[in-house]
Structure 1
Amino acid sequence: MMLRKIVLLVLCMCLLTSCWSRRELNELLIVLGIAVDWEDGEYLVSYQVVNPSEISAQKQSGDRPPSTLYQGRGKTMFEAARSLTAEAPRKVYAGHLQIYVIGEKLARRGIADFLDNTLRDNEARMDFNVVVAKGAKAEDILKIYTPLEKLPTQNMLKSLETSEKSWAPTVSVTMDQILSTLSGDGKELALTGIQIIGSQKKAESKENLETFLPPGRFRYTGLAVFKKDKLIGWLNEKESKGYTDITNNLDSTSVELKCSENKYMGIEITSSDSRIKMEMNNGLPEAHIYFETEANLVDRGCKEVNLNDPGVIEQIEHQVKGVMQSNADASVKHAKKLKSDIFGFGSTLGKQHPDMWEKMKQGWNEEGFPALKLHYHIEVHLRKTGTTGNTTMK
């Protein structure tokens, strides 16, 4: 009986697990931002890590920056990451990664190889956002001192999230979404661009925080258009608005309607839903794009416009439709010129007409997409014109 108890106890102990792989916090470098560049035939990897003592609420010395940059070089991403251990006092931990910045030079060379290395890291989650440094090195983006938020990557993340919700030309794309796009057919990749405005030199020093308007700062601008895994061009602000609307990424934005010389009416798009339906016509696919949009009038630049007249409201709605179609047309026109279906028309064709897609997918970007006819069906509903209606102010 005693022997049975001993055996049972041993078996229970075998089921217990221990923290064999644990690592203490003070043994790690917490990485919040990663920048990857291509320089002199090698990968240049930059890790932005937290200085805990500088962001702690209990102890703030103010003598050091809130984050530190460690860099490594190598022919492969793995070699570059390991080479930085010659400088870093601890092992890096990417489990809290927020922003991943790709240099434009590297993006034009191709991103598949180094993304493959990132995906093999079992510590990194795939929900971090990826952006492209426009006309700059990715490492320079992570060196900026930013106001309000001590950590530059946190500032960039919140700015991207806010901009996506309130300003149409930007869209947040996570690593798992990139993997899905590059692994599928019928849709090419588009990533938000980020650039440096003003003085890069001053942006890298505390002097950047000593004025009301920082002399060096970042700004999200345009969308990077990819073909396969290579950057091939950029959409401007107008074209980027058209892209986010067609792909149903538009949450809220603004539209300016000219009502007289040098005067405009401001319209706030409060919601916009879109869907794509592919129909066959004489054996060829045609795309029908449906927009359902709600808006408010927020700025009445021309006082002579009578907002109590239903006919005027219809006219404003018609003008908003024209702006939305103009943005969409500009976006599609540029994408067709680049021969890159970033909207996913091919993917939609594959879902709705799989037999036709099988015939066209091999030459879709080169022939099918550039020749695709589009039809817009836009519904705009102006819900509010302001609490004062027609103002009595002179």
Structure 2
Amino acid sequence: MKEINQLAIVDMIAIDRDEKGMFIAYYQILNPPSIEARRSGPSRAAVYTYEVSAPTMGNMLEKTGAVMSRNLYTSHLQCYVVSERMARAGLLKMANYLENYKERRTNVYAIVSEDPVSKVINTFTLLDRVPGRNIRLLLDWHARRLGINKLPTRMNDLVEGIPFSRPTIMPIIQYKGNGSASLADRLEDINATKQSITFNGGAVFIKAKMVGKVSDEIKNTYYVLNGYATRKQETFKVNGETVDIALNDIQIKRKWITKDRLQIRVDGNIGIINNEQGVKLTLQNIEKMELEFNRTYKKKCEQFVSFAKQKNWDMLGIGDTDHGRKRWKDIQVEFEVHSKLTTLGNTITPYE
């Protein structure tokens, strides 16, 4: 049993490491009176950020006693934010520290900050007053949009991926603005995206070390082809006009044709979101749309494999199979895409 007024309830932790090897941690502590009701004065902020630095991660706990009068409590931790320079140096020490110390949680989201972590963690968020919760809800929404039950971007996903050939991808967060929006006056600005945090692309980790970045499109294709995602939005051309669709109920099946050939079959249902063709949706046109989508998405999958080989990243985890172990780049990957078109809206034919 612990008294609530003896605890510093940690909502988010950001970690950086400077050029001299000194670890810098930012602990964002909840301010319960501000969350319960609107207050003025010192209780106005929903969270407060404490900064400590130490030569090793194990010294952080001792250092916090010099800046805060309560014990750190991490059971409600929402996410970890790691600086890009620390991620590129490797997160193996951090993973070992979190795994060895029982009160440090690893089953929460972890993200990489492209900007200084001090900017990100000291920024007010609008719809959700607690920044850590705001980031977690953004990630949860991203997962639901792709039909993923649990987005594989937690710290323990990074740890579990260390022995394998397939990399782990964590989202990258950016700060939009100049100075950090750390003052409550920021909330009076109607432009919600002027000084805010946003996700843009992903950080690729191999053996718990960041080796590069990918776009959102590559990241989401990675989720689809590895069987994480069951939904995806796509755009392609039919008769020279744009068609936007939602690919639903995605199923991925892998089949070894020979020891050097891997076939990946993609099945899914197409729902029309936007059709700019300006022609009636006949059976012939529907069939043409299905064929055009199959061709376009097959080409995208092939480009994804070429990108992975160029970067020397085993994005499909072929090196974790018996046939592909230590020779994944030699495996020829072939794609088959099969789709069935259905409608989502009230009409099947565009207005003239």
Q: Report the TM-score, using the length of structure 1 for normalisation.
A: 0.81
Q: Aligned equivalents of 2:24 and 2:17: distance in 1?
A: 6
Q: Aligned equivalents of 1:319 and 1:260: distance in 2?
A: 10
Cα 1:316–1:198 shift into 2, 3 Å:
farther
Cα 1:209–1:320 shift into 2, 3 Å:
farther
**How well do the aligned residues superpose, as a CA RMSD in angstroms?**
2.3
How much has 1:148 moved relative to structure 2?
Answer: 0.7
Uncovered stretches (5+) of structure 1, i.e. residues with no partner: 1-21, 351-355
The equivalences for 1:246-325 within 5 A come to 246-259=225-238, 264-281=242-259, 285-304=260-279, 306-307=280-281, 309-325=282-298
Cα 1:196–1:319 shift into 2, 3 Å:
farther
Offset from partner CA, 1:297-324 (integer Å, 9 cap, x none): 02122322x21x1121122122222343
- Residues 1:84 and 2:84 are matched in the alignment: no
Aligned partner letter, 2:295: G
**Alignment equivalent of 2:340, drawn from 381, 389, 392:** 381
Equivalence for 2:27 = 47
Aligned partner letter, 2:32: P
Higher Cα Rg, which structure:
1
Equivalence for 2:211 = 232
Q: Aligned equivalents of 2:166 and 2:232: distance in 1?
A: 25
How much has 1:185 moved relative to structure 2?
Answer: 2.8
**Alignment equivalent of 2:81, drawn from 88, 97, 101:** 101
Offset from partner CA, 1:369-390 (integer Å, 9 cap, x none): 2332111121111122532221
- Residues 1:121 and 2:94 are matched in the alignment: no
Uncovered stretches (5+) of structure 2, i.e. residues with no partner: none
Equivalence for 1:3 = none
- Asked if the contact 2:202/2:213 (under 8 Å) is kept, the reply is yes
How much has 1:181 moved relative to structure 2?
Answer: 1.1
Equivalence for 2:132 = 153
Offset from partner CA, 1:192-221 (integer Å, 9 cap, x none): 21111233x153333432223232111112
Cα 1:117–1:209 shift into 2, 3 Å:
same
Cα 1:226–1:202 shift into 2, 3 Å:
closer
Q: Aligned equivalents of 2:300 and 2:29: distance in 1?
A: 40
Equivalence for 2:119 = 140
How much has 1:344 moved relative to structure 2?
Answer: 1.6
Secondary structure of residue in 2 paired with 1:187: coil
- Residues 1:332 and 2:305 are matched in the alignment: yes
**Alignment equivalent of 1:210, drawn from 188, 202, 210:** 188
Cα 1:131–1:326 shift into 2, 3 Å:
farther
Aligned partner letter, 2:348: G
Equivalence for 1:193 = 172
Q: Aligned equivalents of 2:251 and 2:147: distance in 1?
A: 13
- Asked if the contact 1:72/1:82 (under 8 Å) is kept, the reply is no
- Asked if the contact 2:161/2:207 (under 8 Å) is kept, the reply is no
- Asked if the contact 2:236/2:244 (under 8 Å) is kept, the reply is yes
Cα 1:298–1:39 shift into 2, 3 Å:
same
Q: Report the TM-score, using the length of structure 2 for normalisation.
A: 0.91
Aligned partner letter, 2:117: A
Aligned partner letter, 2:18: E
Aligned length: 348
Secondary structure of residue in 2 paired with 1:203: coil
The equivalences for 1:359-370 within 5 A come to 361=325, 364=326, 368-370=327-329
Cα 1:181–1:202 shift into 2, 3 Å:
closer
How much has 1:35 moved relative to structure 2?
Answer: 0.9
Q: Aligned equivalents of 2:223 and 2:261: distance in 1?
A: 20
Cα 1:149–1:294 shift into 2, 3 Å:
same
Cα 1:273–1:198 shift into 2, 3 Å:
farther
- The structure richer in helix per residue is 1
